[in-house]
Structure 1
Amino acid sequence: MTQLPDPAEALPSHRELFYGGEWHAPRQRQYRETLNPGNGSVITSVAEADPQDVDAAVQAAAEAYPAWRSTAPAQRAGYLRKAAELIRKHAAELAMIDALNTGNPIAEMLSDANVAAANLDYFAGLIPMIKGETIPRESDQFHYTLREPLGVVARIVAYNHPVMFAGGKMAAPLAAGNTVIVKPPEQAPLSCLRLAEILADVFPPGVLNILPGSVPCGQSLSTHPLVKKITLIGSVPTGKAIQRAAADTLKPTLFELGGKNALLAFPDADIGRLVDGITRGMNFTWAGQSCGSTSRVFLHELHHDEVVLRVLERVQAMYKPGVPTDMATTMGPVISKVAQERVLSFIASGKQEGAHLALGGVVPSNNPAIEGGYFVEPTVFTNVQPHMRIAREEIFGPVMSVFKWKDEAEVLRQVNDTTYGLTAAVYTQNMTTAQRTVAQIEAGFIWVNQVGRHFLGVPFGGVKESGTGREEGLDELLSFTQTKSVNLNLA
Structure 2
Amino acid sequence: MNRTMHSTTLRVPESLNREYRILIGGEWKGSQSGEFFTIHDPFSREDWGKVPLCGPAEADQAVTAARRAFDEGEWPKLPPAGRAKVLRKFADLIRENADELALMQTLENGKLLKETRGGIDFLAQQCEYSGALAETVQGATINTGIPNLFTYTLRQPLGVVAAITPWNSPLGLLGFKLFPALAAGCTVVVKPSEFTPASTLRLLELSEAAGIPTGVVNVVTGMGDVGAALVDHPGVDKIVFTGATQTGAKIAAAAGQRLVPTSLELGGKSPNIVFSDADLKQAVHGVLGGIFVASGQTCVAGSRVLVEKSIYDDFLDRMAQVTAGLKLGDPLDPETQLGPIANQPQFEKIIKSIASGHEAGFRLLAGGGAPSADPALGSGLFIEPTIFGDVDNASSLATEEIFGPVASVIPFEGVDEALAIGNDTRFGLASGVWTQNMSRAQRVIRDLRAGTVWVNTYRAAHHYVPFAGHKQSGLGRELGVEAVEEFTEIKSVWHDFGSPQLFGR
Instruction: Calculate the TM-score normalised by the size of structure 1.
Output: 0.96
Is the aligned partner of 1:51 residue 2:56? Answer: yes
SS at match of 1:222: helix
Per the alignment, residue 270 of structure 1 pairs with 279
Once the two structures are superposed, the pairs formed by residues 414-425 of structure 1 within 5 Å of their partners are 414-425=421-432
CA contact (8 A) 2:327 2:335 kept: no
The letter for the 1-side match of 2:256 is A
Residue 227 of structure 1: which of 233, 236, 243 is its match? 236
Residue 86 of structure 2: which of 63, 73, 79 is its match? 79
SS at match of 1:187: coil
Give me the whole-angstrom Cα distance separating, in 2, the residues matched to 1:167 and 1:406.
41
Measure how far apart 1:279 and its partner are. Answer: 1.4
Aligned residues: 486
Identity of aligned residues (%): 38
CA contact (8 A) 2:177 2:240 kept: no
Measure how far apart 1:411 and its partner are. Answer: 2.7
CA contact (8 A) 1:159 1:188 kept: yes
Per the alignment, residue 6 of structure 2 pairs with none
The letter for the 2-side match of 1:259 is G
Question: Cα 1:375–1:10, aligned 2, differ >3 Å: closer, same or farther?
Answer: farther
Render the CA deviation track for 1:164-205: whole Å, top value 9, x for unaligned.
Answer: 222343110000000111211111111111112222232111
Give me the whole-angstrom Cα distance separating, in 2, the residues matched to 1:35 and 1:366.
20
Once the two structures are superposed, the pairs formed by residues 466-481 of structure 1 within 5 Å of their partners are 466-481=473-488
SS at match of 1:302: helix
Moved over 6 A (4+): none
Give me the whole-angstrom Cα distance separating, in 1, the residues matched to 2:258 and 2:100.
39
Per the alignment, residue 269 of structure 2 pairs with 260
Instruction: Calculate the TM-score normalised by the size of structure 2.
Output: 0.93
Which one is further off, 350-359 or 35-44?
35-44
Render the CA deviation track for 1:6-49: whole Å, top value 9, x for unaligned.
Answer: 63245274422112122121112332232111132222331122
Once the two structures are superposed, the pairs formed by residues 215-364 of structure 1 within 5 Å of their partners are 215-282=224-291, 284-317=292-325, 319-364=326-371
The letter for the 2-side match of 1:52 is A
Which one is further off, 463-472 or 357-366?
357-366
Give me the whole-angstrom Cα distance separating, in 2, the residues matched to 1:196 and 1:333.
27
Render the CA deviation track for 1:339-379: whole Å, top value 9, x for unaligned.
Answer: 11111111111011120111001212253143332110100
The letter for the 1-side match of 2:214 is P
SS at match of 2:258: coil
Measure how far apart 1:315 and its partner are. Answer: 2.1
Give me the whole-angstrom Cα distance separating, in 1, the residues matched to 2:346 and 2:10.
29
Is the aligned partner of 1:100 residue 2:103? Answer: no
Cα RMSD for the two superposed structures: 1.6
The letter for the 2-side match of 1:41 is E
Task: For structure 1, list consecutive stretches of 5 or more residues without a partner in the other structure.
Answer: none
Give me the whole-angstrom Cα distance separating, in 2, the residues matched to 1:481 and 1:48.
32
Residue 120 of structure 2: which of 113, 117, 128 is its match? 113
The letter for the 2-side match of 1:20 is G
Render the CA deviation track for 1:81-139: whole Å, top value 9, x for unaligned.
Answer: 11110011111111111111101111221111111111111111112221111111212
The letter for the 2-side match of 1:293 is A
Is the aligned partner of 1:32 residue 2:40? Answer: no
Per the alignment, residue 180 of structure 1 pairs with 188
Give me the whole-angstrom Cα distance separating, in 1, the residues matched to 2:198 and 2:279.
43
Is the aligned partner of 1:149 residue 2:154? Answer: no
SS at match of 1:158: coil
CA contact (8 A) 1:386 1:414 kept: yes
Give me the whole-angstrom Cα distance separating, in 2, the residues matched to 1:167 and 1:349.
36
Which one is further off, 361-370 or 428-437?
361-370
Give me the whole-angstrom Cα distance separating, in 1, the residues matched to 2:218 and 2:124.
18
The letter for the 1-side match of 2:276 is P
